[in-house]
Amino acid sequence: MIEISNISKSYNKGAVKAVDSLDLKVNKGEIFGFLGPNGAGKTTTIKMVVGLLNPDSGSIIIDGTDIAKEPLTAKRKMGYVPDNPNLYDRLTGMEYLNFMADVYQVSADMRKERIEHYLEMFNLKGAASDLIKSYSHGMKQKTALTGALIHDPRVWILDEPMVGLDPKSAHLLKNQMREHCDRGNTVFFSTHVLEVAEKLCDRVGIIHKGKLIAIGTIDELRHGENKGSLENIFLELTEQ
């Protein structure tokens, strides 16, 4: 579903190499967890995958569509939520969701169903007609999630989605991610919470200093020379 071939990205005209020849494939029906220390290049990779950053080299294919060649088609296939979503402060939550539904050309019936579903699930109904300005961090995050999922994209790409969500919302989101993948779709997300990765992900990738240093199911990662919890593996791999 997501094919990342040999992408690199540097900032400051080559001074900082944030992502270095990264190859990665995320399959259909898979929840893929993207791990790595701070500054490893997770956000940079994700932003390239969704088209917010232009890679210096390499290519990215989403569900058969090359993001550089047919960006609009590729964007219709995915829903993205950044780690710290800045939304339009002076729109209400509902206006924002209607706007997103319009630009994704979601029919009136579908949008009604999905907006009601997510507002109910995230307990946002009461706030929907307030300005986004008045929302808490978590409320903004949930509004951004709803807006990103309103067109029922096949590929979800989430940058640290659990940060800022209360336990109940996080739990419900995890369930949604599972259900989504069981229907043959894909979720690609970054996280620092290793327990979540361990329990939820079909496969994980660990990125360190811009390079992918490990990839596979949790069991596969355990098998090599490393034994023990994902935490130990993570600490060992990212030591240097």
Ligand X SMILES: Nc1ncnc2c1ncn2[C@@H]1O[C@H](COP(=O)(O)OP(=O)(O)OP(=O)(O)O)[C@@H](O)[C@H]1O
Whose Cβ is closer to Mg ion: residue 29's or residue 37's? 37
* Torsion angles phi and psi, residue 136, rounded to 5: -80, 170
Whose Cβ is closer to other proteins: residue 98's or residue 226's? 98
Whose Cβ is closer to Mg ion: residue 9's or residue 42's? 42
Using DSSP's 3-state secondary structure scheme, residue 102 falls into: helix
Considering only 32, 34, 43, 161, the residue that binds Mg ion (CB under 5 A) is 43
Residue keyed to tokens 């496969």: 203
191 forms part of the interface with Mg ion (CB under 5 A) = no
CB 62 within 8 A of CB 49: yes
What angle (nearest 5°) sits at the alpha carbon of residue 217, between those of residues 214 and 220?
75
Considering only 26, 30, 42, 97, the residue that binds ligand X (CB under 6 A) is 42
Q: Which does 36 bind (CB under 5 to 8 A by kind): Mg ion, ligand X, other proteins, none?
A: ligand X
45 forms part of the interface with Mg ion (CB under 5 A) = no
139 forms part of the interface with other proteins (CB under 8 A) = no
Return the closest-CA partner of residue 50 out of 87, 173, 42.
42
Q: How far is the CB of 161 from Mg ion (least distance, A)?
A: 12
Return the closest-CA partner of residue 147 out of 168, 163, 170, 124.
124
Return the closest-CA partner of residue 141 out of 126, 125, 155, 159.
159
Residue keyed to tokens 């190499």: 17
Dihedral sign for Cα atoms in the order 110, 113, 115, 121:
negative
Whole-number Å distance between alpha carbons of 201 and 204: 7
Q: Which does 88 bind (CB under 5 to 8 A by kind): other proteins, ligand X, Mg ion, none?
A: other proteins
Q: What is the CA radius of gyration of the chain?
A: 18
Q: How far is the CB of 194 from other proteins (least distance, A)?
A: 28
Q: How far is the CB of 74 from other proteins (least distance, A)?
A: 9
106 forms part of the interface with other proteins (CB under 8 A) = yes
44 forms part of the interface with Mg ion (CB under 5 A) = no
CB 79 within 8 A of CB 148: yes
Q: Which residues contact ligand X by CB under 6 A?
A: 11-12, 16, 18, 36, 38-44
Residues interacting with other proteins, by CB under 8 A? 12-13, 15, 47, 50-54, 71-73, 75-76, 80, 82, 86-88, 90-91, 94-95, 97-99, 101-108, 111-112, 115-116, 119, 125-131, 133-134
